[in-house]
């Protein structure tokens, strides 16, 4: 019975000592993973870098200049459109005045000729003559009203178009900056996701290799120590038997 107890104890002691002597040092296998940093890149007007604080995306000077230039172009367009808006009302007013002036000149000429004709016929003061003059005045008044309405609509439409174009230019200027931020965010998300997946894959592979290494070392040490433990245990058993006999 003493012999059967001594052999496992001796084997366990040898195995423990060998494992401490030959086994992997704690933290050694994890060092490559802890020191791993995904590489950055330069391209498309961007520079990326992974550091302790995470991912950093830096636009190049050329890209910043291009984006700023595009925003300034839309801003300049909005300024030009604003200047055109300020000219619409005076321009349409001048057009309205010119057309109304033409109608007034035609009214005076037409009414004057009508009065002369009515007077020659000696019906200027009659109800017929007054009715003819009233109809003529009404016709010219209607023409003036149409001109006023048409020019108002023209002014309104032109101003509305310029307002839409101006705000479109301002929106494009703002959208240019927003698109740049969205592009940087999308790029950062893809790079961060790729780095996370790579590190997760490395961690899984490292765990698998550590498990395989531990299993291999255990089997190797077991095959190596078993005969020694058996021999030492037998010798110790004989010594114990002689001692207790």
DSSP symbol at 59: E
pLDDT value at residue 66: 81
Angle at 31 between CA 25 and CA 37, to 5 degrees: 175
The tokens for 176 are: 């240019």
pLDDT in tens, the chain (245 residues): 444 444 444 444 444 444 444 455 545 445 454 555 555 666 567 777 776 666 677 787 787 888 888 888 888 988 988 888 888 888 888 999 999 999 999 999 999 999 899 888 888 888 888 998 999 999 999 999 999 999 999 999 999 999 999 989 888 888 888 788 777 777 766 776 666 676 667 767 777 777 777 776 655 555 555 554 455 445 444 444 444 45
Other C-beta atoms closer than 10 Å to the C-beta of 170 total 17
Among candidates 93, 84, 59, 37, which has minimal Cα distance to 187? 59
CA distance 170 to 121: 68
Residue with tokens 């038997």: 241
Return the SS3 of 24: coil
Tell me the H-state helices in the chain: 2-22, 31-34, 61-120, 127-244
The tokens for 221 are: 């040490």
């Amino acid at each position: 019975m003493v012999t059967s107890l001594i052999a496992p104890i001796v084997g366990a002691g040898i195995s423990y000592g060998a494992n401490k002597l030959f086994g992997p040092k704690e933290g050694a296998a994890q060092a490559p993973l802890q020191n791993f940093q995904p590489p950055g890149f330069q391209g498309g007007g961007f520079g990326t870098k992974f550091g302790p604080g995470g991912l950093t995306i830096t636009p190049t000077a050329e890209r910043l200049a291009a984006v700023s230039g595009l925003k300034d172009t839309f801003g300049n367009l909005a300024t030009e459109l604003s200047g055109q808006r300020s000219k619409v009302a005076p321009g349409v007013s001048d057009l309205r005045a010119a057309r109304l002036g033409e109608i007034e000149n035609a009214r005076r000429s037409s009414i004057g000729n009508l009065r002369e004709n009515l007077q020659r016929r000696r019906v200027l003061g009659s109800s017929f003559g007054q009715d003819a003059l009233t109809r003529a005045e009404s016709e010219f008044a209607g023409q003036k009203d149409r001109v006023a309405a048409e020019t108002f609509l023209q002014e309104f439409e032109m101003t509305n178009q310029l307002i839409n174009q101006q705000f479109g230019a301002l929106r494009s200027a703002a959208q240019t900056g927003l698109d740049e931020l969205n592009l940087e965010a999308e790029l950062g998300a893809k790079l961060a996701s790729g780095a996370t997946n790579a590190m997760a894959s490395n961690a899984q592979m490292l765990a698998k290799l550590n498990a395989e290494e531990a299993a291999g070392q255990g089997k190797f040490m077991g095959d190596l120590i078993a005969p020694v433990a058996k021999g030492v245990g037998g010798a110790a058993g004989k010594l114990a038997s002689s001692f207790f006999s």
